[in-house]
Structure 1
Amino acid sequence: MVRIINLLSLFVFIGIFSCSSDDEGDNNPSLPEDEARYQATFTMNWSADNYPTDYPGGAHFSPLVGWSHNTNTNFFAIGTLASPGIKSMAETGATSTLESEINDRIDSGEGKELILGSGLSSGTGEITVEFTISKNYPNVTLATMIAPSPDWYVAVVNLNLVNAGEFIEDRTVVAYAYDAGTDDGLSYGSPNDASEPPLAIELIIDAPLGNGTSVIPDIALVNFKKIN
């Protein structure tokens, strides 16, 4: 009889301990298995030494904006027309219209998360932001205005952070310079000259940033590191 009672006591103790462990786990929730948290770090290289042609006073980058999304979107894609939000970001650095456009796309099932980050008060330095992706929304797009400029911005567009069904642990890519196609200005301080009709988004390869073939050195590198 004593042996049976001791065994029953042991089972009760194990049950209580298991419940306690489950409760403690709830205090430290982790992401679902099909989601991952990333930190993106932009390293900006836009200096007078690297890009001496017409280098402007007050060089800076606007607040970072972007989203995590599916693989089917063409938002920000080369060859497409800039939306009003992309135009506003590229010409003025303002992000409110673009944020609304991204949220509308998220609501329609095209994306997962709006991503907002800080700007940079000079042409060189780092901008860091965190965001979440999932297996259904594995891509990320992030952009910031090159300021001052007519309608130019630096961006990582449609980058997939899932490979063979697994989240990529660490990846560094080039962030390219883009022309939104909404202003015909040719240099940083050019007066406003709206493109009529608007032109398609394209990579910048010409002066003052480029050499006619490409932009060398890279205006920015971005490191993506999985943190959860």
Structure 2
Amino acid sequence: MVTTRIILSTAEALFHLIVMLLTLGRGVHSMPVTTDVPMCTASDTAQYSLTFTGKWTMAAFPKQYPVYRPPAQWSNLIGLTHSSDYHMWQRNDFASNGVREFAEKGEAWTLMKEVEAAGKRIQSVYGILSAPAVAGGTGQMSTEFEVFARHSYLSFIARIVPSPDWFVGVDSVDLCDGDHWKENASMELFPYDAGTDSGFTFSSPNFETIPQDKITQITSSSPSHPANSFYYPRLKHLPPIAKVTLTKVNKTNQIISLPLQPTQSNQLPTGNDIEDTLINTPLDCEMSVWSPWGLCKGKCGDSGVQHRTRYILMHPANNGSPCPLLEEERKCVQDNCL
């Protein structure tokens, strides 16, 4: 409950900052952007509704699933509408200091300053959007935003909580199709590593990556380390951990609307989302290495017996391979038997 309140308080403070930045930025008029990307020729602006749905369930991601201190949840979502020459973040590129702080701590102050500076320098950012944090792995958050021809791209980021520096998001999704706006779009989201922290598990302590790595997508086999919370060697692909749905709505006079606050109705998955939560990822049993063989016990002149043991590192789930025996014995010949 304390963790949830902290996240919601941070989201509220962040929203006030965004409103301030938007208010200051209204007086800056966007200039044409030179680019090799085909120019959008839609004459009107377009209003979109964005719905983010978490699919982070214990059934789909049973390995080390965080159930407390804190439980699985999502940070607030931060997004931008922009031109093709700007990137909030990019796969296989280095994360900015702002993306780093958001991916590691959920703090967006530096990221907002970077966006503000880019908007003033190259006038490539049109609007900033935000949606409130979700206190659960399978909740929803929603907001609305506006795009126009010269700034028809959407990017956003949401932090996976808890995690070292993991997040989900989209990079430069173009909502314009020639001379008209797309009616809707839906994208499945997968985890990314910001390349700034070297932790392998959801609850890993802070361990800075030096030198910094590039942003990479986390898969069922990469990083290829058994301790990795997303390491499922039996899977070819990870199931999506979230999805985003974009729907064109009737335009209003608002440049940007307030984020929709979480409610009982939009916190719970509906429709096809209920079916998505039924994904069951098999998790095989993981065992420790065997201990050394113990002392040889028995009567002098007879064969003795010695034992060794091991313990369970990870219990199986969802019909994964069961745990083998925890103890073995073998015959032995006693030394120094009198």
Q: TM-score, normalised to structure 2's length?
A: 0.56
Deviation of 1:74 after TM superposition, in Å, equals 3.4
Alignment of 1:70-89 (within 5 A): 70-89=83-102
1:136-180 per-residue CA deviation (whole Å, 9 max, x = no partner) reads: 011101111001000000112111101122110111112231110
* Alignment-mate amino acid for residue 55 of structure 1: Y
SS at the partner of 2:136? coil
Whole-Å separation in 2 of the counterparts to 1:125 and 1:75: 25
Deviation of 1:117 after TM superposition, in Å, equals 1.4
- In the superposition, relative to structure 1, how do residues 42 and 226 fare at CA in structure 2: closer, same or farther (>3 Å)? same
* Alignment-mate amino acid for residue 119 of structure 1: A
SS at the partner of 2:191? strand
Partner of residue 191 from structure 2, selected from 177, 200, 207: 177
Please say if 1:95 is aligned against 2:108. yes
- In the superposition, relative to structure 1, how do residues 215 and 152 fare at CA in structure 2: closer, same or farther (>3 Å)? farther
Deviation of 1:214 after TM superposition, in Å, equals 6.4
Whole-Å separation in 1 of the counterparts to 2:102 and 2:236: 23
Whole-Å separation in 2 of the counterparts to 1:127 and 1:60: 12
Deviation of 1:73 after TM superposition, in Å, equals 2.0
Whole-Å separation in 2 of the counterparts to 1:221 and 1:127: 11
- RMSD over aligned CA atoms reads 1.7
SS at the partner of 2:100? helix
Q: Is the 8 A contact 2:43 2:179 kept in 1?
A: no
Deviation of 1:216 after TM superposition, in Å, equals 2.5
Deviation of 1:211 after TM superposition, in Å, equals 3.5
**Alignment partner, residue 216 of structure 1:** 238
Q: Is the 8 A contact 1:138 1:160 kept in 2?
A: yes
User: 1 or 2 for the larger relative contact order (CA 8 Å, sep ≥6)?
Assistant: 1
**Alignment partner, residue 66 of structure 2:** 56
- In the superposition, relative to structure 1, how do residues 215 and 190 fare at CA in structure 2: closer, same or farther (>3 Å)? farther
Deviation of 1:35 after TM superposition, in Å, equals 1.3
SS at the partner of 2:50? strand
**Alignment partner, residue 17 of structure 1:** none
Q: Is the 8 A contact 2:160 2:167 kept in 1?
A: yes
199-208 vs 214-223, which moves further = 214-223
Q: Is the 8 A contact 1:77 1:201 kept in 2?
A: yes
The structure with more strand, counted as a fraction of residues: 1
**Alignment partner, residue 173 of structure 2:** 159
SS at the partner of 2:190? strand
Deviation of 1:103 after TM superposition, in Å, equals 1.8
Whole-Å separation in 2 of the counterparts to 1:183 and 1:223: 30
Q: Is the 8 A contact 2:43 2:149 kept in 1?
A: no
Q: Is the 8 A contact 1:156 1:176 kept in 2?
A: no
Q: Is the 8 A contact 1:61 1:146 kept in 2?
A: yes
Alignment of 1:176-215 (within 5 A): 176-205=190-219, 206=222, 207-209=228-230, 211=232
Whole-Å separation in 1 of the counterparts to 2:188 and 2:231: 15
Whole-Å separation in 2 of the counterparts to 1:111 and 1:85: 16
Whole-Å separation in 1 of the counterparts to 2:115 and 2:163: 23
Unmatched segments (≥5 aa) in structure 1: 1-31
> Which portions of structure 1, spanning 4 or more consecutive aligned residues, are displaced by more than 6 angstroms?
none
Alignment of 1:132-171 (within 5 A): 132-171=146-185
Identity of aligned residues (%): 29
1:40-70 per-residue CA deviation (whole Å, 9 max, x = no partner) reads: 1011100111100111121111111010011
178-187 vs 101-110, which moves further = 101-110
Q: TM-score, normalised to structure 1's length?
A: 0.81
Paired positions, count: 197
